[in-house]
Structure 1
Amino acid sequence: MRTSEIPIILDSPTGVEPPVDRPADRPAERPRSRGGMLLLAAGLILIGLNLRIGVASIGPVLGEIRDGLGLSTTAAGLLTTIPVFAFGAFAFLAPALTRRLGMHRLLGITMLVLAAGILLRLHPSLAGLFAGTVLVGAAIAVGNVLMPPAIKQDFSHRTGLMMGLYSTALFVGAAAASGLTVPLLPLVGGDWRAALAVWAAPAVLAAVVWIPQMRRSPGRLRSGAGVADAPAETGEPPFRAILGDPIAIAVTALMGLQSAVYYTSLTWVPTILQDAGIGAGTAGWLFAFSAFPGILASLVVPVLARRIRPAWLPVALAVALLAAATIGLAAAPAAAPILWMTLLGLGQGASISLSLAYIVLRSPDAHHTGHLSTMAQGFGYLIAGLAPIGFGALHALSGEWVLPLAVLGLLLVLQLGAGIVASRPGHIRARVAEPPAPTPGCAAQ
């Protein structure tokens, strides 16, 4: 077997990656101080906090937006579905941008673009609102892809803890935006544009805290050329090398299916509760309550997932919680709504944290984490964007919620299957690209 045909990492259940040789012209960074590591961790958590705010803040004031701009229900619904499709479509730009700018610089830039997109919604036009929403979705898409390899690279010894904190930050940001946007309205004169614009402040804060990381030089990192922040090198496996990998496909399916369930719930569960006789305000607060058990699950599950055996047990538990909530919503939504929302939140928190954790755990190094993150979140969110539309169409066709909730149950079965495969110890496999042929007459260096 030729050298170029040797897989770069054995599919070892131990998850131990082989040593990576560092080129002589690429010295490593100096070891970071404790304060430097804390600042780095704080910056990552702040970025994670912002990766749902720009989307979650729209829903609570969607009625005011419709009334203010005279939008139809379909047009208003686009404001919640466009970002999900953007998460998928713009995710595929992340690898090229990373090679050009470096991962850490690009993370800082995404926060600035996110703030710009949020502020663009201040423009008193429909075009400004939708353009800002697309820009917000694009910035979040790139940030989504970059966070797992950044954690893999900088916190390889604490991936479980950091992925838990990252997942928790996503839930906290979404919960804050959902719960505080409406209370902000009286403080800004009842202007929904100003209430949305306030959420640019956390993005600016994250960018400021991240400035020291943006000054890092790409390619001078501890892991050498294999890290995600390094420029492209001859011999690195390309993105397409993992597209047929069974583990990569399973991780992608898990990300897409759990996101489909989450965004379907985000869009329709408040309406299901209202149709059961619960007031609109109460239904909104009940769904917002589900974020709190979700925060707890997202913090704890990634740490436990590396220790619990059999490895598929956390996936099965997450699906069981979601299934119980789905059955409750189908059979008697008004009988015990707090219980259903607690089960829903626990299942969603566990599911998102596991899908993100497997992106890191199933990758041998940060370079492959970047590829797997692009694949899982790019294709995954494109799948997820279709689910709320299909769910609504089934409701319109049947006139009730049992049929669409039954189809949601089928998605949970598929999620369980994908999660079982993704949870198996091992790494994705990618082959190293062929090195260029030596120039005739040149001595080997």
Structure 2
Amino acid sequence: MNAHARRTGGMAALVFLVALCLRPAITSVGPVLGDLGADTGLGEGALGILTALPLLAFAAVSPLVHRMAARFGDDRAVLVALVALVAATVVRSYAGDAGLWIGTFAIGAAIAVGNVLTPVLVRRDYPERVSLATGFYTAFLTLAASAGSALSVPLAHLVDWRFSLVVWAGLALLVALAWLPRIAGPAVHSPALEPVPVPHHPSIWRWGTAWLATAYMGLQSTTFYVLATWLPTIETSWGTPAATAGLHLSVFLLLGVVGGLLIPRLLRDGRDQSAGMLVATAPLAIGTAGMLVWPDALPLWLVLLGLAQGASLVAALTMLSLRARSHGEAAKLSGMAQSLGYLLAAAGPFAAGFLAEHTGSWTPTLVLLVVITTSQTVVGVVLGRGGRR
């Protein structure tokens, strides 16, 4: 059996297990931020910085993944990332105050490698079933994110918040062990990461559409991570029990699977996807505005926000593919959008915590979210029309 056949058999499916490791270490933090802050003495502003660290790591590390993959091979790079994720998760919980910060950043760095390489592996190992495999990958990613938020508070009640965060190191360790057979034989490099000449646009930074795609990715990520980080805290400030707020976050994340599976029908290849971009994104603006003006209808807003956050993520990734005119251009566009997009998103949790700490209310944060989601909707529609050449 040659290397390609081996990776399109049972071992190819292991990439979906890697997807299980790419979100729980982050989404498990939001529901226990109150306990974490009380134990460490960190206020909302500092907690906002802490939760932004993984996103800063995404922005810093994503452009460097190509070099790592070129040196080690794609499969070996993923294994290194999984092992690093195990170590960083343990350091975050049990290496003191410094370890909390260092481990959090290292978790983001390890996950960044997975963020970049696992979709590439899906395309490489399932060349005839890319859409179906990508759907499975996204579903595993979202389900794991939901599990991280849903189990966080119960595990914290069982032991403490440190334990509720460190348990995900066990999952990463198991996946790393299962991944070992994939590194047997010569290193396999993905063609998607090899340098390919880009026609017409030697510099992606001078392309208007690239900036629109980057802005959409950044705004989408900002909305998601602000809600994933602070939604439980906002709810508890309204009197919702912590366990219920964590469950609500889990539902919010699970609904993303549904939204992500439905929206591709409206984003088929063609000249104009503006209607699909509007359907994917406008509910975010409606939902955040609804939380601001009618918080008693929170279940309704959670449904809208949950469906839309999954749909808008798929929309962001789809636009990176549809707007690129070559394989090499797609790789360059993806690198730019992920790096700058996550850098923008990193400011979101910090700004939300800062506003709440200095105003004593979550209303300014919700106003900020309305502005962000409205801007995202406008950018999405323009990008859907073809952007700017």
Q: Same fold (TM over 0.5)?
A: yes
Counterpart residue type for residue 251 of structure 2: F
Of 238, 244, 254, 1:282 maps to 244
Native 8 Å contact 1:53 1:177 kept in 2: yes
SS of the residue corresponding to residue 206 of structure 2 reads coil
The CA deviation at 1:350 is 0.6
Of 96, 103, 118, 1:147 maps to 118
Moved more, 379-388 or 85-94: 85-94
The CA deviation at 1:145 is 2.0
Counterpart residue type for residue 353 of structure 1: V
Native 8 Å contact 1:148 1:370 kept in 2: no
The CA deviation at 1:60 is 2.7
The structure having more radius of gyration, on CA atoms, is 1
Counterpart residue type for residue 415 of structure 1: Q
Counterpart Cα distance in 2 of 1:326 and 1:52: 23
The CA deviation at 1:347 is 0.7
Of 381, 393, 400, 2:342 maps to 381
Q: Greater share of helix residues, 1 or 2? A: 2
**Structure 1: stretches of 5+ with no match in the other structure:** 1-28, 222-226, 430-445
Q: After TM superposition, list the pairs within 5 Å mapping 1:81-230 onto structure 2.
A: 81-185=52-156, 190-215=159-184, 217-218=186-187, 227-228=191-192, 230=194
Counterpart Cα distance in 2 of 1:150 and 1:425: 28
Residue of structure 2 equivalent to 1:247: 209
Q: TM-score, normalised by structure 2?
A: 0.86
Deviation per CA, 1:253-306: give whole Å up to 9, x if none. Answer: 111010111122223333443444444443333233212211221233346533
Inter-CA distance 48–399: structure 2 relative to 1 (3 Å threshold): same
The CA deviation at 1:55 is 1.2
SS of the residue corresponding to residue 75 of structure 1 reads helix
Counterpart Cα distance in 2 of 1:182 and 1:368: 43
Q: TM-score, normalised by structure 1?
A: 0.76
Deviation per CA, 1:153-182: give whole Å up to 9, x if none. Answer: 333433332332222222211111111133
Q: After TM superposition, list the pairs within 5 Å mapping 1:4-153 onto structure 2.
A: 32=5, 36-153=7-124
The CA deviation at 1:96 is 2.0
Deviation per CA, 1:197-243: give whole Å up to 9, x if none. Answer: 2211221232233334334635677xxxxx1355x68x689x97322
SS of the residue corresponding to residue 217 of structure 1 reads coil
Counterpart residue type for residue 213 of structure 1: R
Counterpart Cα distance in 1 of 2:277 and 2:358: 32
Counterpart Cα distance in 1 of 2:178 and 2:321: 24
SS of the residue corresponding to residue 94 of structure 2 reads coil
Deviation per CA, 1:406-442: give whole Å up to 9, x if none. Answer: 443332233223323544579x99xxxxxxxxxxxxx
Counterpart Cα distance in 2 of 1:141 and 1:61: 23
Deviation per CA, 1:11-65: give whole Å up to 9, x if none. Answer: xxxxxxxxxxxxxxxxxx66527xx425354222112221111111222333333
Residue of structure 2 equivalent to 1:341: 302
Counterpart Cα distance in 2 of 1:320 and 1:196: 33
The CA deviation at 1:72 is 4.0
The CA deviation at 1:333 is 0.5
Counterpart Cα distance in 2 of 1:331 and 1:185: 33
Counterpart Cα distance in 2 of 1:142 and 1:312: 31
Deviation per CA, 1:98-143: give whole Å up to 9, x if none. Answer: 2222223212221111111112235341122222111101011222
Counterpart Cα distance in 2 of 1:181 and 1:277: 19
SS of the residue corresponding to residue 306 of structure 1 reads coil
Q: After TM superposition, list the pairs within 5 Å mapping 1:405-416 onto structure 2.
A: 405-416=366-377
Counterpart Cα distance in 2 of 1:210 and 1:156: 20
Identity %: 37
Native 8 Å contact 1:95 1:374 kept in 2: no
Native 8 Å contact 1:122 1:193 kept in 2: yes
SS of the residue corresponding to residue 32 of structure 1 reads helix
Moved more, 169-178 or 206-215: 206-215
Counterpart Cα distance in 1 of 2:175 and 2:202: 32
Native 8 Å contact 1:163 1:356 kept in 2: no
Native 8 Å contact 2:271 2:385 kept in 1: no
Native 8 Å contact 2:58 2:112 kept in 1: yes
Native 8 Å contact 2:281 2:373 kept in 1: yes
Native 8 Å contact 2:30 2:233 kept in 1: no
**Structure 2: stretches of 5+ with no match in the other structure:** none
Inter-CA distance 347–213: structure 2 relative to 1 (3 Å threshold): same
Of 372, 381, 385, 1:420 maps to 381
Residue of structure 2 equivalent to 1:4: none
Counterpart residue type for residue 65 of structure 2: A
Counterpart residue type for residue 289 of structure 1: V
Residue of structure 2 equivalent to 1:293: 255
Native 8 Å contact 2:267 2:273 kept in 1: yes
Moved more, 385-394 or 41-50: 385-394
Native 8 Å contact 1:165 1:299 kept in 2: no
Counterpart Cα distance in 2 of 1:68 and 1:159: 46
Native 8 Å contact 2:232 2:245 kept in 1: yes
The CA deviation at 1:349 is 0.9
